[in-house]
Amino acid sequence: MVMPMQFCTPAKKEETVTEKTPSVAAKSTLTAFGIQLYSVKEEMAKDAKATMKTLAGYGYTQFEGFDGGKGVLWGMKAQEFKSYMGDLGVQVIASHANVFENLEAQAAAAKEAGLSYLICPYIGAQKSVDEYKAMADKFNKVGETLKSHGLKFAYHNHDYTFQMMDGVLPQDILMENTDPSLVDYEMDMYWVHVAGINPAEYLAKYSGRFKLCHIKDASATGDNPHERGVLLGTGEMPYAELIKQSQAEGMEYFIIEQERFEGTTPLEAAEKNANYLAGLEF
């Protein structure tokens, strides 16, 4: 008798369930950031060298200067200034300066001292679109002069260039009437924000034109834009996102600035702001 063929079914192996851990994108932090020395202007006026040494101890590896009445090198000769910054381990990226007077002399000293930029910090609200166009022409000439010295030029905005005039933004006029090879821009993110413009969207609109920025936070309340400055991380500005997005749009230098101090001193704020930015992941 022929028995019917039987097929053996192999014993089913016990399935091992492996719990997969979701992949998490690696976070980044800023490896270098600076401070605008105007944030501690009273201390700079008393003792510039000691103040800069204190700031370096807080973790700042970049400075952005200003003219506090002793010139952008704070009364030091160019080589003395450069040597002292080397001792502190700090790079002076730029200085705010009056670029419409004695530019050749300022440029020669800045170059010898190791700076990369001279920055126009303020022009005031112009009265017409034509006046902004004329200012753009001045910017091009300043940029050409600084380029001949091996330096770069940038303009630092306030809120007035982000307020509509005759149907256009004055900042757009400046952007579109300046030569990108001669004129860079420093975005003060606070002033853009309190003017009602999204900083990230504006950076994307003019990708590659903003090489430096001022980082300061804004409180969520307050009608006066000049009275909303707060410690980094205590306001409403999403700096983790802004830094990541701005880097994608060509931003190179991140400079902390604070001008309003509630319940703290300028030096205390400088230390707290440095700690915040050093630990910020994006």
pTM: 0.90
Q: Would residue 197 count as lying in a domain? A: yes
Q: Would residue 12 count as lying in a domain? A: no
Q: Would residue 259 count as lying in a domain? A: yes
Tally the domains of the chain.
Answer: 1
CATH number at residue 229: 3.20.20.150
Q: Would residue 94 count as lying in a domain? A: yes
Q: Would residue 28 count as lying in a domain? A: no
Radius of gyration of the chain (CA): 26
N-to-C CA span, the chain: 78
Domain range enclosing 187: 34-279
Q: What is the pLDDT of residues 10-33, one digit of tens each?
A: 444 444 444 555 556 678 899 999
Q: Would residue 8 count as lying in a domain? A: no
Return phi, psi of residue 212, to 5°: -130, 160
Tokens of 230: 């707060």
Q: What is the pLDDT of residues 171-216, one digit of tens each?
A: 999 999 999 999 999 999 999 999 999 999 999 999 999 999 999 9
Rounded Cα distance, 17 and 12, in Å: 15
Q: Would residue 128 count as lying in a domain? A: yes
Is the separation of the CB atoms in 126 and 170 below 8 Å?
yes
| Dihedral sign of CA atoms 259, 83, 187, 27 in order | negative
* Other CB atoms within 10 Å distance of the CB of residue 45: 13
Q: Would residue 24 count as lying in a domain? A: no
